[in-house]
Amino acid sequence: SSSQCSLTGKWTNDLGSNMTIGAVNSRGEFAGTYRTAVTSTSNEIKDSPLYGTQNNINKKTQPTFGFTVNWKFSESTTVFTGQCFIDRSGKEVLKTMWLLRSSADDIDDDWKATRVGNNIFTRLRTVKE
């Protein structure tokens, strides 16, 4: 295994949400699917697409990135930004922060429509053997 941190693959976070990220192209662009474990709504959770970019400048081994999730079961949008790290045990980990924008019915409710938080993602391995 190399010491390069790669976004491609399956990840799970501290809330139990899962995401799958496809190949990162030469321009740093990627797409994937997000399955959240939690929701601020009362709607039934559905898989939702994500689109992002990885910073490829200087070919850093622990790149920064950002992606947007376009929720397909609510009117909300989440943006995540973070960095792909190799931790002390050699394990890849994504340290992120997010902004979740909910849809406000009235401009006077704008002030309370954005939540903020952090998530830590580790690789999801399907257990073989």
Q: Which of 7, 52, 67, 74 binds ligand BTN (CB under 6 A)?
A: 74
- If one asks whether residue 96 binds ligand BTN (CB under 6 A), the answer comes out as no
Q: What is the C-alpha radius of gyration for the chain, rounded to an integer number of angstroms?
A: 16
Query: Judged by CB under 6 A, does residue 23 bind ligand BTN?
Result: no
Tell me if 94 sits within 8 A of 83, measured CB to CB: yes
Q: Is there a contact between 126 and 94 (Cβ–Cβ < 8 Å)?
A: no
Instruction: Kindly identify the residues of this chain, within the stretch 99-118, that bind ligand BTN according to CB under 6 A.
Output: 100, 117
By the rule CB under 6 A, 121 interacts with ligand BTN: no
Query: Shortest Cβ distance from residue 19 to ligand BTN (Å)?
Result: 8
Residue 18 lies near ligand BTN (rule: CB under 6 A): no
- The β-bridge partners of 10 are 20
Q: How far apart are CA 84 and CA 54, in angstroms?
A: 10
CA angle 25, 31, 34 (to 5 degrees): 150
Interface contacts to ligand BTN, rule CB under 6 A: 13, 15, 17, 36, 38-41, 71, 74, 76, 78, 98, 100, 117, 119
